[in-house]
Amino acid sequence: MDAEKKIQGLREELQQHNYNYYVLDAPQISDYEFDMKLKELQELEEKYPEFEDVNSPTQRVGGAVTKNFATVVHENRMYSLSNSYSKEELEDWETRIRKIVEGKLQFVCELKYDGASISLTYEKGTLKKAVTRGDGFQGDDVTNNVRTIRSVPLKLKGDFPKKFDIRGEIVLPYEGFAKMNAERVEAGEEPYANPRNTASGSLKLQDSAEVAKRPLECLLYSITGNSTGIGSQFEGLEKARKWGFKVPEESELKDSIEEVLQYINYWDEHRHDLPYETDGVVVKVNDFHQQEELGHTAKSPRWAIAYKFKAEQESTKLNKITYQVGRTGAITPVANLDPVQLAGTVVKRASLHNADQIEKLDVREGDTVFVEKGGEIIPKIVGVDFTKRDPESNPTEYATHCPECNTALVRNEGEAQHYCPNVNGCPPQIIGRIQHYISRKAMDIEGLGGETVALLVNAELIENYADLYTLKKEDILPLERMAEKSAENLINGIEKSKEILFERVLFALGIRYVGETVAKKLAKHFKSIDALMAASEEELVNLDEIGERIAWSVVDFFKTEANSENVRRLKEYGVQLEISAEKLANQTNILEGSTFVISGVFQQVSRNELKKLIEDNGGKVSSSISSKTNYLVAGENMGPSKLAKAEKLGTNIISEADFFKMLE
């Protein structure tokens, strides 16, 4: 047998044994036999390097070292899910869905595993790319590390599409986690806190050989891409299993919300029997056409919801209440606690939110309090054990002055939060604003992290984000832990930030109440910072989804001399403060004032492309028909009740071809 055939045969055999062991949990040969075959393949590959393949089973052992993980834009955005905590919230979700889609509804129930989200890209049946969730729009390329995870197939089998993404969760089973911790304790090292954080941290280890030593697993749950030939979520799960992916067998198809609730109740009781951490159930509308019809909000799909199991709760002693200052000057009271183990982590601090919450719960220093993790992420105090209260304790008196700069705090009418008004002299506000400016969703300045910002401010090298563009390498080299290469990366990252689009710069400025979605809307409408600065409150309120609070905040921000001066300087340094001519060329106001509803399946473009065309040309897309709807763009397989409602209201019903004529 020639070498190439022998190598190929061994690769296929080992891939099948990997699949039997790590996916099916049904090994057919001993570990020793497997290792002997792997060794034989390694020797052949070394002897015949011309037959090298990055997806060979020999690559599972790792060895590639990654210093900087490249940022990759997701071809299909990774959305987060809306959460629900009760039967009523689930029923409300179903009611909202039924108002938009027609026909029989089926739901897929999947356990919500607690790990690190990942997106895997396959082309022609081989693994090409593995990217972390990041901010949903872009993440880190961790392909070398993910190749070492044995339950991730490097080559697929069966009738897979030419190209697709599959999403899942990288988890660390309890058994493997316990074994890792036992080894660490034996070696005199600190044990890891919990499986989730350890799995997430493993993906960013620089040496993939170290990742290979960890018993990570990858559980897959969602296929995305064009022309996959898949019509529903459950069909996608079944196909993914046949192609070689580890898809949890606990996923089930249900015909009603009642059946969904039975599934939730069962797993709420039996979740501790599972080999992995799970904190809830994800419920998805099964049919992909119905999913398309439902669409997304700015943050999450309307066709899916996460039901979170009741959070774990513990009691502990509250030793002291301290106060934190945020970048907007908002004051957050923090409870400093006796350490307590909660949902896999040691909790020492918890948020008390604001003065009203402290008064409502009557929380006092020295109390024994009940702590739980809200959504099992952020610890919060939910009550006081009054039976253990010292009878001589006094009610909490809320702070009157800023803990950082001693300025008297203010509380605006109708607001729960106290604020420090010393905007330009309070260190945490100064540092916080710059940290927000450089953050990933904003300017994403590579080489510059939150700690370095604090160092720069404390060294009096910068006072605001405009000062970043005046930094020179020789200024920052004397800073603690700042080497030549780090200084170069920082200066290059600041320079590269001048290419960031206007809408993200607007978000980066840190205007109160102006999040990502509002920043996009304002950038699209005003097209330049000058036009936005000249806008009145009345003009802003007239925009869709811009209320009085946002309008006041925008006008107030630019009225402040320090802010308008920073904007002037940013413009001078070359930061993008208007929509580029190239982007403007693809936008018109042809559809301004018109609201569209899209329904059905289209031939020339996808539904998302159709939505983008409407928005790029000044129109608005709505999910349901009302008296305000101007046009219903009707595709194939459109729901009959939508059509009937449009006819009843006298809405213009147009085809895909009619729509493109409108654009001409």
Which residues are CB-neighbours of 21 under 8 A, at least 6 positions away?
27, 34, 150
Q: Smallest Cα–Cα separation from 101: which of 109, 110, 93?
A: 93
The b/e string for 29-41 (b: 16+ C-beta within 10 A; e otherwise) is eeeeebeebbeeb
Contact 546, 520 (CB under 8 A): no
By percentage, how much of the chain surpasses pLDDT 90? Answer: 46
Compute the average pLDDT of residues 451-472: 93
**Confidence grade of residue 376 (pLDDT, cut at 50, 70, 90):** very low
Compute the average pLDDT of residues 591-611: 84
**Three-state SS for 130?**
strand
**Three-state SS for 27?**
coil
Q: Smallest Cα–Cα separation from 232: which of 138, 103, 330, 119?
A: 103
Q: Is 593 exposed, middle or buried (0-12, 13-18, 19+ CB in 10 A)?
A: exposed
Judge whether residue 470 has pLDDT over 90.
yes
Catalytic residues: 112
Q: Encoding tokens for residue 90? A: 């689930």
Q: Smallest Cα–Cα separation from 350: which of 362, 361, 338?
A: 338
**Confidence grade of residue 620 (pLDDT, cut at 50, 70, 90):** confident
Q: Smallest Cα–Cα separation from 456: which of 433, 548, 444, 442?
A: 433
Centre a 10 Å sphere on the Cβ of residue 582 and count the other Cβ atoms it contains: 7
Judge whether residue 55 has pLDDT over 80.
no
Which comes out higher in pLDDT, residue 266 or 192? 266
**122-136, 238-252, 290-304: which has the minimum mean pLDDT?**
290-304
Question: What pLDDT is attached to residue 66?
Answer: 73
Return d(Cα 220, Cα 117) in angstroms, integer.
10
For 415-450, write each residue's pLDDT tens digit: 888 999 998 899 999 999 999 999 988 999 988 888
pTM of the model: 0.67
Contact 333, 381 (CB under 8 A): no
Return d(Cα 617, Cα 589) in angstroms, integer.
5
Which residues are CB-neighbours of 261 under 8 A, at least 6 positions away?
87, 90
Pairing of strands 126-132, 116-123: antiparallel
**Confidence grade of residue 162 (pLDDT, cut at 50, 70, 90):** very high
Return d(Cα 559, Cα 504) in angstroms, integer.
21
Question: What pLDDT is attached to residue 640?
Answer: 72
Compute the average pLDDT of residues 116-142: 92
Contact 263, 280 (CB under 8 A): no
Judge whether residue 300 has pLDDT over 90.
no
Compute the average pLDDT of residues 62-85: 82
Q: Is 10 exposed, middle or buried (0-12, 13-18, 19+ CB in 10 A)?
A: buried
For 337-368, write each residue's pLDDT tens digit: 999 987 667 889 998 989 998 999 999 999 99
Centre a 10 Å sphere on the Cβ of residue 370 and count the other Cβ atoms it contains: 15
What angle do the packed helices 656-663 and 607-616 form, to 10 degrees? 30
**Confidence grade of residue 583 (pLDDT, cut at 50, 70, 90):** low
Helix runs in 440-501, H state only: 450-458, 473-476, 484-496
Compute the average pLDDT of residues 561-586: 86
Return d(Cα 607, Cα 572) in angstroms, integer.
40
Using CA atoms, how far residue 365 sits from 314, 322, 373, 396, in Å, is 17, 10, 20, 7
Q: Encoding tokens for residue 554? A: 């925008």
Matching residue, tokens 């009418």: 413
For residue 2, report the phi and psi dihedrals to the nearest 5 degrees. Answer: -75, 160
Return d(Cα 369, Cα 561) in angstroms, integer.
45
Question: What pLDDT is attached to residue 524?
Answer: 84
Return d(Cα 128, Cα 225) in angstroms, integer.
15
Compute the average pLDDT of residues 532-558: 89
Judge whether residue 161 has pLDDT over 70.
yes
Judge whether residue 336 has pLDDT over 80.
yes
**Three-state SS for 116?**
strand
Q: Give me the chain's average pLDDT, please.
A: 87
Strands (E), 272-392: 278-285, 304-308, 313-325, 331-342, 345-351, 368-374, 378-384
- Is the Cα dihedral 86, 88, 90, 96 positive or negative? negative
CA angle 118, 121, 125 (to 5 degrees): 130
Contact 151, 218 (CB under 8 A): yes
Judge whether residue 212 has pLDDT over 70.
yes
**Confidence grade of residue 581 (pLDDT, cut at 50, 70, 90):** low
Radius of gyration of the chain (CA): 28
